[in-house]
């Protein structure tokens, strides 16, 4: 894609968010955007030490993936990127995610790598209420729907229920002319 | 390369106090404490919780169980939420007395 085309798209649809990534999954393997291309992806930025919103959002993501697959025959790859890489190590992330749905890909990495992807997706995150090693992370808990070309289609906030999210994703996918290798 | 180094150095430990069983136990202790506050709302709040929240001595046992079961930052987060909820309730209930203000 040449430079001119890139600018054209951003003039119509706003700033381009998203970009390449290079992180570690829960098995300790490197995952890049090459591993995601070809799939519709539902990307969530969160952290396991979230008292209430985090667990609810991950539960929502798991249920939405279920609904899409069973009712719409649509396969979407759920991905959880932690914005608390210091505490969310691969093994801890694996244990946490497994309690919800082992299909969710958990990604972590060095702080610099997480900062980079958060910046690409314009995700705000900040440590608050620090008491020694204990802290919360202030963040928007947004989810991003990414098409098989690794382009961000849209984002969803915590106000979306499971059913609303499934419906909105179905609509976006059916509207899009891009189909992934699974659908 | 930084990624490989991270992968090999990352600890195997798991923070069990944020996993499902611990979360459920925390929520239970939290709800028991706030239920006590509601029940004893006519008593004088003499004890200090966090973020300015006060509670009556009658709920001290619930408070201890709650604080033992949940991370300090979680307790603070829920206390803050509870205070905000109470404040909104007060504003809604007090609507009549503040007329004209």
Does residue B55 lie in a domain region?
yes
* A67 in reach of chain B (CB within 8 A): no
Count of CA atoms in the C-beta half-sphere (13 A) of A175:
9
Does residue B47 lie in a domain region?
yes
Residues A96-115 have a mean pLDDT of 96
ipTM of predicted complex: 0.86
The answer to whether B15 contacts A90, with C-beta atoms less than 8 Å apart, is no
Is A76:A169 a contact under the CB 8 Å cutoff?
yes
Which residues from chain B sit within 8 angstroms of residue A28, using beta carbons? Answer: 7-8, 10
Mark which residues 85-104 of A lie under 8 Å from B by CB.
87, 89-92, 95-96, 99
Range of the domain at B53: 20-99
Give residue A181's pLDDT.
55
* Reported pTM: 0.89
CB neighbour burial string for B55-92, b if at least 16 within 10 angstroms, e if fewer:
bbebbeebbebbbebbbebbbbbbbeebbeeeeeeeee
Does residue B3 lie in a domain region?
no
- Closest residue, chain B, to A135 (C-alpha): B73
Residue of B8, B23, B73 with shortest CB distance to A55: B23
Q: pLDDT tens digits, residue range B33-83?
A: 999 999 998 999 999 999 989 999 999 999 999 999 999 999 999 999 999
Q: Edge-to-edge strand order for the sheet containing A30-32? A: A30-32, A22-25, A105-108, A76-82, A40-46, A143-146, A152-156
Does residue B10 lie in a domain region?
no
Shortest Cα distance, chain B CAs vs residue A180, angstroms: 29
Does residue B83 lie in a domain region?
yes
Residue B96 or A139, more confident: A139
Confidence of residue A183 (pLDDT cuts 50, 70, 90): low
Q: Total domain count for chain B?
A: 1
Selected residue of A30, A31, A51 to mutate for chain B interface (largest B Cβ count, 10 A)? A51
């Amino acid at each position: 894609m040449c430079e001119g085309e890139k600018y054209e798209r951003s003039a119509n649809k706003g700033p381009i968010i998203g970009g390449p990534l290079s992180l570690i999954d829960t098995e300790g393997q490197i995952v890049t955007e090459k591993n995601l291309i070809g799939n519709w992806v539902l990307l969530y930025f969160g952290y396991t030490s979230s008292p209430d919103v985090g667990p609810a959002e991950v539960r929502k993501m798991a249920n939405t993936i279920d609904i899409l697959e069973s009712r719409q025959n649509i396969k979407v790859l759920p991905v959880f990127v932690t914005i608390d890489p210091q505490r969310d190590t691969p093994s801890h992330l694996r244990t946490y995610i497994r309690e919800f749905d082992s299909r969710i890909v958990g990604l972590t990495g060095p702080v610099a790598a997480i900062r980079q992807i958060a910046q690409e997706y314009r995700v705000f995150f900040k440590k608050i209420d620090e008491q020694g090693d204990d802290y919360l992370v202030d963040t928007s808990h947004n989810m991003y729907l990414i098409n098989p070309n690794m382009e961000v289609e849209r984002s969803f906030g915590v106000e979306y229920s499971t059913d609303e999210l499934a419906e909105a994703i179905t609509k976006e996918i059916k509207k899009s002319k891009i189909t992934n290798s699974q659908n | 390369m930084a990624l490989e180094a991270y992968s090999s150095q990352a600890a195997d430990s798991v923070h069990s106090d944020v996993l499902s069983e611990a979360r459920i136990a925390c929520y239970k202790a939290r709800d028991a404490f706030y239920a006590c506050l509601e029940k004893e709302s006519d008593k004088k709040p003499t004890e200090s919780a966090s973020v300015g929240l006060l509670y009556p001595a009658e709920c001290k046992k619930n408070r201890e169980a709650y604080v033992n079961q949940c991370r300090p930052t979680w307790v603070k987060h829920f206390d803050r939420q509870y205070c905000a909820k109470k404040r909104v309730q007060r504003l809604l209930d007090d609507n009549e007395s503040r007329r004209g203000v």
